[in-house]
Copies of this chain bind each other. A is one copy, B any other.
Amino acid sequence: MYAIAIHGGAGTLPRAAMTPERDQAYRAGLAAALDAGYAVLDGRGTSLDAVTTAVRILEDDPLFNAGRGAVLTAGGIAELDASIMDGRTLAAGAVAGLRHVRNPIELARAVMEHSSHVMLIGGGAEEFALERGMAPVPNEYFHTETRRLQLQRALPGGGGPVNELSALGTVGAVALDQDGNLAAATSTGGMTAKRYGRVGDSPIIGAGTYADNAGCAVSATGHGEFFIRTVVAHDICARVAYAGATLAEAADAVVMGRLRQMGGEGGIIAVDARGNVVMPFNSEGMFRGARSADGRREIAIY
């Protein structure tokens, strides 16, 4: 058994604003990432390579809030966060506050594989990227007209509120490979008009991303502050490992139970060592897809 699941954020357009053209574009973007990640698994590649591939494609797609097309801070710049974890070794890498790294997930992976650290932030993280030979991109590389307009609306006097799409955007992937190893990866541009070097759950190991062969692999998307406070990704794995819950029970207890009670909007994708995939969300929708060796292939928004 092998399987992959991806998400493109829990902040979907309200159904009323979703046109057939937009629907088709989002589904095409999800399908490209899902099938590329699945092809890695199908070719006996590792779950780490599969989630890296899928997330990189979503980062490059301007429709999703990560990499190119990331939302803009109050100062009008893109600041990117990402993390990745290897369920076999519990190795992990995380980066936050990037402004010039084209694919944050690749830098998170480099931190995991080529540094003695887990988390690097800001200018220091970018210095490490340069030393790893990653060519910097100007911050404008990430900007799109849609995000500029969203920022204008979100700023004081801009006529906000920002729609959900930009408020809860993230991308992520989880996978189980043919060797039985789990991996998870998450990447984001954070919240539109964010200030103060705010970091959400995406680069926090345990909150936005967690993978442990003994439990499961999780990537989260939603209102990051709530996800940090409840250590969402690790909590789901802990309920599987310690409480004897199935993956579906654990994920539902956290997403539909605890998070919803606190007012924490969003969702997660998760896969366990037997290839069970769950994708619960308590928001109106979540861009998502799953594909596994038993022939299942699903792409959905609401």
A residues touching B (Cβ–Cβ < 8 Å)?
Answer: 85, 90-92, 96-97, 115-125, 127-128, 195-200, 204-207, 210, 224-225, 228-231, 234-235, 238-239, 242-243, 262
A234 touches B225 (CB 8 A): no
Known: A92-B228, A117-B225, A242-B239. A122 touches B197 (CB 8 A): yes
B90 touches A229 (CB 8 A): yes
Q: Which residue of the partner chain, among B124, B197, B199, B234, contacts A234 with CB atoms under 8 Å?
A: B234
Q: How often does this chain occur in the complex, in copies?
A: 2
A91 touches B231 (CB 8 A): no
Chain B residues near A195 (CB, 8 Å)? 124, 127
Chain B residues near A228 (CB, 8 Å)? 92, 118-119, 205-206
Residue among A97, A115, A121 with most chain B CB within 10 A? A121
Please measure, in the bound complex, the distance between the C-alpha atom of A235 and the C-alpha atom of B124, giving whole angstroms.
Answer: 29
CB distance from A266 to the nearest CB of B (A): 14
CB distance from A72 to the nearest CB of B (A): 14
Known: A97-B121, A229-B91. A234 touches B206 (CB 8 A): yes
A196 touches B234 (CB 8 A): no
CB distance from A85 to the nearest CB of B (A): 8
- CB-based nearest B residue for A224: B118
Chain B residues near A206 (CB, 8 Å)? 204, 206-207, 228, 231, 234
